[in-house]
Amino acid sequence: MTSLLWTAAVLVALGAIVRGVFAEEVKACFERDPAARNLVEVLLTYSGLHVIICHRIAHALDRIKVPVAPRLIMTMARMASGIEIHPSATIGKGLFIDHGVGVVIGETAVVGDYVTLFQGVTLGGTGKERGKRHPTIGHHVVIGAGAKVLGDITVGHHALIGSNAVVIRSVPDDSTVVGVPGRLAKAKDRHVAGINLDHTHLPDPIAERLELLQHEIDDLERHLKEQRGKPQA
C-alpha cells in the first residue's frame, strides 16, 4: 500500500513539473486536438509531447557538448514513438505534433513557436555538405500530413503547407503552398486569428490555370463561329 502511495505521489509530482515546464506544449494539445479529453490522458498517451520533452533534455545536453547521450535519448524516443528529431535541432515553444508517426526533423532545422506538424512530415536536408542544410520554419506554421520541406529554405510566419506537398523553395509569410513541387497557391492570405488547422481544403493552382485556359478556348471558339456566320463582303 505504501509503495502504491509513493508511486502515485511521484507521478503527481512529475505531472505537475511537466505541466509547469511544458505548459505551452500541453496547452497546444488541448487547443489543436479535439480528441484531448483531460490532462492525465495527454500526459500519459500523447507521443508528440513525450518526444518534445525528450528533445528538450537531449538538446540541453547537446549544447554543452555531452557525447552520445543526446543521440541515445532521441533514439529511444524514436523507437517508442516513431518520431525522429535530431538533438541539435532548434524547437520553439508550443510545438504540437499530431499523431506523429513518421515525422523527421533534421540536425540544423529551426522550428518557430506554435508550429503544428501532422504525421509523416519531413524537415530534411539536401546534399552531404555540413552547416545549415535544413529548413527554418516560422511561427504559427501548419504543415500537413506527408509534406516534405527540404533544404536550407525559410517558411514564413503563418504559412500553410498542404498535405503531401514537396517544398524546395522559400515560402513568404501568410502564404499557402500545395503540390509537387510546392507551388504558391495563396500569397498574403487574409490572416485568421489563432492557428488554421484546415490543411485539406486548399486551392489547386494547376486546376485554376486549366479552367482559365478552357474559358479562353471557349471564347476563341465562340468568336470563330461568329466570324464564320458573317456574310462575306
- Lowest mean pLDDT of 108-112, 127-131, 139-143, 212-216, name the range: 212-216
144 lies in a domain?
Answer: yes
Which residue, chain included where needed, has cell 545536453?
A: 61
68 lies in a domain?
Answer: no
Task: Look up the domain containing 181 and give its range.
Answer: 89-225
Reported as a pLDDT band with limits 50, 70 and 90, residue 23 is: confident
69 lies in a domain?
Answer: no
Pairing state between β 183-186 and 176-178: antiparallel
39 lies in a domain?
Answer: no
Pairing state between β 154-155 and 176-178: unpaired
**pLDDT given for residue 228 in this prediction:** 72
Query: How many domains is the chain partitioned into structurally?
Result: 1
107 lies in a domain?
Answer: yes
233 lies in a domain?
Answer: no
Mean pLDDT of 155-184: 90
* Cβ atoms 94, 84 nearer than 8 A: no
CA 120 to the chain's CA centroid: 9
| CATH code of residue 221 | 2.160.10.10
- What angle separates helix 23-32 from helix 47-63, to the nearest 10 degrees? 150
In single-letter form, the type of residue at position 178 comes to V
**pLDDT given for residue 3 in this prediction:** 66
Distance CA 171, CA 137 (A): 10
Residue 101 has pLDDT above 70, yes or no: yes
202-220: per-residue pLDDT in tens?
A: 566 666 667 777 777 777 7
**pLDDT given for residue 170 in this prediction:** 92
168: cell is 524546395
This prediction's pTM? 0.77
* Cβ atoms 49, 29 nearer than 8 A: yes
73 lies in a domain?
Answer: no
